[in-house]
C-alpha cells in the first residue's frame, strides 16, 4: 500500500463515540483500520475489501455492513486504538476522543452485561494496568495528553452538534470535503443506522460465539448525563469518579461538585513502569518518578489483596472476554509470583476453572517472557501452541533449551 500521512484516533476502553467518527471516515473515503491496514484490508484492482477475520467489525460499523468494497484516498490513513501511547505513535497526529467518565464507565458496565454490582465492577482491576477501572480511564487520558501533537474532542460535543464536531476534526487533520460529502457521511453514521446493523447481528450472535464473547449491546442511545439517573449504591459508586479526578473534569468543562480530586500521578506511573504494557512508553505524566517506595508498596499490596480475594464467581461476573480473562489471570500471577505465594496460588487455582494448567503457564510465559514457566508447560502443548508465539519468543526459547540441554555449546 502507498505511503500515507498517518493519523491516530485514541480513546479509552470505555464507550466514547469513536466508532461514530471511524464510520464517518470510512464514508469519507479515508483508509481506517485497527493495528494494521494490511491485516484488516485486502487490496484488489484499486479497491479495498475487508478481510474475513475482521467481519465482526460489521456489527459496530454500518459502513462495513453496507459496502462490499471501498475506494480510499491516497494521502491519509487513520488507525484507531485503545492502546497506551507507546513510541510507535510518537510521530503521528492524534485525535483523542473522550467522554465524561461517569457516563463512559456506566455505559461500559451496561455493554459488558456484568452481573456484579456496579461498585464491585468498578473495583475490578484492569488486565493491563492492575489499577481499577476508574483509575485506568483517568490515567489513559493523562498519558496520551503528554503527546506533542494531540487535540481532544468530547463525546458530548459530538452529541450536541455532530456536523460541527466532524468539521472541526477534518479541519484539524487537514482534510477537505464538500458539504454534500460531509452530510452524506453524517447521515450514514447516525446512532440509528448503527443500532439497526447491531440488532441484525445480535439476532444471530454466531460472530460473538466464534470469538468466545458475550453478546454485547454497544449502541445504548448515547445519552449524555445518564449517570445522574442512578440511585442509591450505584450513584455512590459512580460519584467516586468525581472524587478521584474532579479537577480534571472541571477543567474539561464537565459539571462537578468536587473540583479537587485525589490523583497521585507519580505513584501510579511508577507502579506501571513494571508492567509489560508500559515498557515502550517514555512520555509519562509530569511529576512521574517522584513517588516513594511506600506509595508503590501500597499499590502492590492492593494487587496482592485483590488476588487473594478474587473468586471464580467474581471473575465470571466481571464482563471480560476470554482473551481478557487470560491476560488478567496472567498479569495477576506474574505480579505476585515471587512476591506473595498465597496470592499467586489463589490466582492459579482460579485459572483452572477457565483454562488448564498448561494454558495458564503458557499465557504466563507470553505475558512475562520469563523462562521459569517453560518447564511447567509440557513439550506437546508447547509444540501445539508455538504458532501463537512471535519469532523473538521462539528464538528466546531455542536459546534457553540449548543452555539447558547442551550447556557445553555455550562455551
- Mean pLDDT (10-residue bins), the chain, 411 residues: 86 93 97 94 95 91 95 96 91 95 93 89 92 91 92 96 98 96 96 85 61 57 86 90 86 85 77 80 73 78 95 93 91 93 96 92 89 88 86 86 61 35
Residues ≥6 apart with Cβ < 8 Å to 399: none
Residue 269 lies in a domain: no
Query: What is the domain count for the chain?
Result: 2
Residue 114 lies in a domain: no
- The residue among 183, 210, 237 that closes a domain is 210
Residues 206 and 314 in one domain: no
What distances in angstroms separate CA 337 from CA 145, 289, 305, 349, 373, one per listed residue?
Answer: 33, 25, 14, 13, 11
Residue 351 lies in a domain: yes
Residues 96 and 204 in one domain: yes
Confirm if 137 and 101 have CB atoms less than 8 A apart: yes
Residue 283 lies in a domain: no
Residues 206 and 320 in one domain: no
Residue 107 lies in a domain: no
pLDDT at residue 128 in the model? 87
Start-to-end CA distance of the chain, whole Å, equals 46
pTM for the model stands at: 0.88
- DSSP conformational letter for 126: P
pLDDT at residue 293 in the model? 75
Residue 290 lies in a domain: no
- The residue among 161, 180, 210 that closes a domain is 210
Question: Domain residues for 78?
Answer: 5-100+133-210
**Residue 290 grid coordinates:** 517522584
Residue 397's nearest CA partner among 367, 360, 361, 372 is 372
pLDDT at residue 369 in the model? 85
Residues ≥6 apart with Cβ < 8 Å to 190: none
Residue 245 lies in a domain: no
Residues 203 and 317 in one domain: no
Residue 93 lies in a domain: yes
Residues 73 and 194 in one domain: yes
- The residue among 153, 185, 210 that closes a domain is 210
Amino acid at each position: 500500500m502507498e505511503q500515507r500521512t498517518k493519523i491516530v484516533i485514541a480513546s479509552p476502553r470505555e464507550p466514547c463515540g469513536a466508532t461514530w467518527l471511524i464510520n464517518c471516515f470510512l464514508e469519507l473515503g479515508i483508509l481506517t483500520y485497527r493495528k494494521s491496514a494490511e491485516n484488516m484490508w485486502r487490496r484488489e484492482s484499486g479497491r479495498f475489501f475487508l478481510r474475513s477475520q475482521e467481519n465482526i467489525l460489521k456489527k459496530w460499523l454500518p459502513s462495513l455492513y453496507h459496502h462490499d468494497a471501498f475506494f480510499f484516498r491516497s494521502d491519509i490513513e487513520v488507525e484507531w486504538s485503545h492502546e497506551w501511547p507507546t513510541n510507535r505513535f510518537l510521530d503521528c497526529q492524534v485525535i483523542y476522543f473522550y467522554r465524561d467518565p461517569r457516563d463512559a464507565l456506566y455505559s461500559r458496565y451496561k455493554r459488558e452485561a456484568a452481573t456484579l454490582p456496579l461498585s464491585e465492577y468498578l473495583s475490578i482491576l484492569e488486565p493491563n494496568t492492575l489499577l481499577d477501572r476508574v483509575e485506568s480511564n483517568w490515567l489513559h487520558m493523562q498519558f496520551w495528553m503528554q503527546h506533542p501533537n494531540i487535540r481532544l474532542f468530547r463525546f458530548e460535543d459530538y452529541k450536541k452538534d455532530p456536523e460541527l464536531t466532524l468539521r472541526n476534526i477534518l479541519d484539524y487533520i487537514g482534510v477537505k470535503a464538500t458539504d454534500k460529502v460531509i452530510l452524506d457521511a453524517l447521515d450514514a453514521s447516525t446512532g440509528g443506522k448503527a443500532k439497526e446493523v447491531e440488532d441484525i447481528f445480535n439476532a444471530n450472535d454466531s460472530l460473538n460465539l466464534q470469538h468466545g464473547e458475550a453478546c454485547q449491546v454497544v449502541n445504548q442511545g448515547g445519552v449524555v448525563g445518564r449517570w445522574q439517573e442512578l440511585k442509591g449504591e450505584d450513584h455512590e459508586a459512580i460519584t467516586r469518579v468525581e472524587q478521584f479526578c474532579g479537577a480534571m473534569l472541571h477543567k474539561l468543562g464537565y459539571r462537578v461538585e468536587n473540583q479537587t480530586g485525589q490523583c497521585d500521578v507519580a505513584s501510579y506511573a511508577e507502579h506501571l513502569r513494571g508492567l509489560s504494557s508500559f515498557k515502550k512508553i517514555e512520555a509519562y505524566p509530569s511529576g512521574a518518578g517522584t513517588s516513594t517506595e511506600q506509595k508503590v508498596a501500597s499499590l502492590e499490596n492492593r494487587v496482592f489483596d485483590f488476588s487473594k480475594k478474587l473468586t471464580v464467581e467474581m471473575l465470571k461476573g466481571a464482563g471480560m472476554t476470554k482473551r481478557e480473562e487470560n491476560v488478567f489471570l496472567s498479569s495477576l500471577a506474574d505480579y505476585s509470583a515471587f512476591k506473595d505465594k498465597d496470592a499467586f496460588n489463589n490466582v492459579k487455582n482460579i485459572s483452572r476453572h477457565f483454562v488448564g494448567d498448561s494454558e495458564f503457564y503458557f499465557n504466563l510465559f507470553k505475558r512475562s517472557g520469563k523462562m521459569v514457566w517453560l518447564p511447567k508447560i509440557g513439550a506437546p502443548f508447547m509444540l501445539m501452541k508455538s504458532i501463537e508465539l512471535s519469532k523473538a519468543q521462539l528464538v528466546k526459547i531455542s536459546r534457553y533449551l540449548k543452555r539447558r540441554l547442551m550447556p557445553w555449546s555455550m562455551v
